[in-house]
Amino acid sequence: MLDIHKIRAEFPILSQKVNGKPLVYFDNGATSQKPQVVIDAISKYYQEINANIHRGVHTLSQLATDAYEISRVKIQHHINAKLLHEVLFTSGTTHGINLVANGFASILKPGDEVLVSALEHHSNIVPWQMLCEKTGAILKVIPMTQSGELNITAYESLLSDKTKIVTVNHISNALGTINPIKHMIEKAHAVGAAVLIDGAQAVPHLKPDVQDLDCDFYAFSGHKMCGPTGTGILYGKESWLNKLPPYQGGGEMIKEVTFEKTTYADLPHKFEAGTPNIAGGIVLGTAVDYMNSVGFENIQQQENKLLAHATKQLLEIEGLRIYGTGKEKASVISFNIDGIHPYDIGSIIDKLGIAVRTGHHCTQPIMNYFEIPGTVRASFSFYNTKEEIDLMVEAVKKAKTMLS
């Protein structure tokens, strides 16, 4: 069990007031708050070992390089990657997905098929549309149901020897649906297709085991799991990373350069051109350590309690509908109230100190499916409490009264 008061004391921002009210932060799906240990680690890097990495023989460069590579090892262990060089530092999930999509431009030919799901964030739709436009491949969509789950029977019928890659999120950012990705990966591999998993919304809630999942690629961001913004990881199986061409050219990713020919560095440096976000990469390791110290079992227990409590309380409000009612859900609730625009609800409850997200959440196809302009999304983290949920519910009731 978590000592929630101790946990909350570790996050400085949670003690502040917004609009004269105690902050209730329910926008964790967009970005998580940062514990003091992460904030301190950023400052420590710049105060003590700020230097460029991999290229210097001087002491500070070696210290920074060691810290950066130790972080890579931490992340390798965290996601259970088989090989250290299968872990690539990126600027976030979007960067990782674009890296893979760019690489597949050299693999796909006209008539090949790319499968995406109807539950995807725009970051896992647009790069594949661009890829298909470039190569003549065909984009096919795995349909969803009214409960916000994927239609797995339809998915299996879409798979064929034309399918070259399947790309699907582990958890939906808009609905909280946890997709059956292990089964989906197995089915895709049976027809020879690769699989990329968008893990951006999953890593704050669970530890992905990439070997157990047997995914070919797994992308996620650091800022959603208590780490710095502008950080992320792309895991890729060694065989695939060796097959894909570099995404960017520049320093660090080369072995030898002449004006006649360039040869590329070995993994992982082949995909890590230029000076990276060194502080961010190091501190991402600090964030992973922090999350593991809290414990993902504890995180899941706390968040499941919050999800159950919020669902029950919100459904008691007349005219309120929750979108995303799948059997397997993370701690995300998207809802609307009949006749009221979600933006108006979000604006009013913000005045009461409640931070939620309103809009289409970069998932316009989902909103089009439900024929709505957007939703109010409350996304909970382990540092939130039932008392905060009660405050949100009362605020929503007040907003409804004002807007009706």
Residues with active-site annotation? 362
Residue 370 neighbours by CB distance under 10 Å: 19
Q: How far apart are CA 106 and CA 233, in angstroms?
A: 22
72-101 core/surface letters (b: 16 or more CB in 10 A; e: else)? bebbbebbebeeebbbbbbbbbbbbbbbbb
- Burial tier of 280 (Cβ tally within 10 Å: 0-12, 13-18, 19+): buried
From 105, 240, 106, 122, select the one nearest 173 (Cα to Cα): 122
- Return the residue matching tokens 């069990």: 1
Q: How far apart are CA 110 and CA 7, in angstroms?
A: 53
What's the token pair of residue 332?
Answer: 């995300």
Residue 248 neighbours by CB distance under 10 Å: 12
- Return the residue matching tokens 């992982």: 268
Q: How far apart are CA 300 and CA 306, in angstroms?
A: 10
What's the token pair of residue 170?
Answer: 């582990």
For residue 358, list its beta bridge partners: 376
- Burial tier of 319 (Cβ tally within 10 Å: 0-12, 13-18, 19+): exposed
From 100, 94, 75, select the one nearest 240 (Cα to Cα): 100
From 130, 131, 117, 215, select the one nearest 171 (Cα to Cα): 117
Q: What angle, rounded to 10 degrees, do the helices at 296-315 and 278-294 form?
A: 80
The residue type at 325: T
Backbone angles phi, psi at 254, to 5 degrees: -115, 155
Pairing type for strands 21-22 and 17-18 reads antiparallel
Q: How far apart are CA 196 and CA 199, in angstroms?
A: 9
24, 49, 125, 307, 335 from 360: Cα distances, Å: 21, 42, 15, 21, 12
